[in-house]
Structure formats: C-alpha cells, structure tokens
Amino acid sequence: MQKLLADIEYHQVSQVIVLNTSRLWRSDMAKVLIQRELKKYNVDVKAIEQPNYSIYTHEPNNFLVNGMLELLDQYQRLEIALKLSRGRKKKAEQGGYAGGGVMFGYTVQKSKKY
C-alpha cells in the first residue's frame, strides 16, 4: 500500500484497480486516509466486483450500496479476528504454543498436561 501511494505521487496514475474495496481497506480510518491520498492526486478506485464504485460518487444509490459493502468488509474483519482468537485460546488450552513467532534466541517447549 505504501508503495502504491508513493507511485501515485510520482507517476501518472489515474485509477487503482482491485477485485473489491476490501483489498484496500476494512476500516473507516484506513478508508479515510487512503481516499484522502487518492483524491489529492485525482486517482479513482475501480473495483471489479463493484462495477459502480467510485470514491467520487454522488449518486445516492451507489453511496448506499458502497457503504453497505464497506460495513460487510468491517464485519468480516472482526469475524476473522474473533475466530483466530478462539483458535489461539483453544490451542493454548490444549498445551500448544499459540503466541505467534518465537523471539530470536528462544525455543518453544510444549507443556505437559497432567
């Protein structure tokens, strides 16, 4: 994303093409920041699965549909985070390591269940 935003600033880019907007943002804050940068350089987003999407849309129907799709993206992000959290907790309860990457110089020892 950072490379894309840098390229937009220094090259002639008129559109960013994505499968759907969830590939660019899944939160309101990320959306606002990314759209601000895109608008600064007059770049639009074209989403293959959302053919009427534009960050410049003023059409009420498109605004409503795009907003609903963005809410679904946020919901999906929260749902994934919850499932991952549950999986880590279950793995830890079974004595497995659920802490992510091990720090350099350390090893993981599986606990023994009694």
Tell me the pLDDT band of 11, cut-offs 50, 70 and 90.
Answer: confident
The predicted-structure confidence for 28-39, as pLDDT tens digits, reads as follows 888 889 999 999
Whether the Cβ atoms of residue 24 and residue 16 lie closer than 8 Å to each other: yes
The whole-number pLDDT of residue 114 equals 45
Token pair 């659920």 in the structure block, residue:
98
The predicted-structure confidence for 45-66, as pLDDT tens digits, reads as follows 998 988 888 888 888 988 888 8
The predicted-structure confidence for 56-106, as pLDDT tens digits, reads as follows 888 898 888 888 888 888 888 889 999 999 998 888 888 777 777 777 888
Single pTM value for the model: 0.61
Distance CA 81, CA 86 (A): 9
Kindly list the structural domains of the chain, giving each domain's residue range(s) and its CATH number in brackets, ordered by start.
Answer: 2-93 (3.40.50)
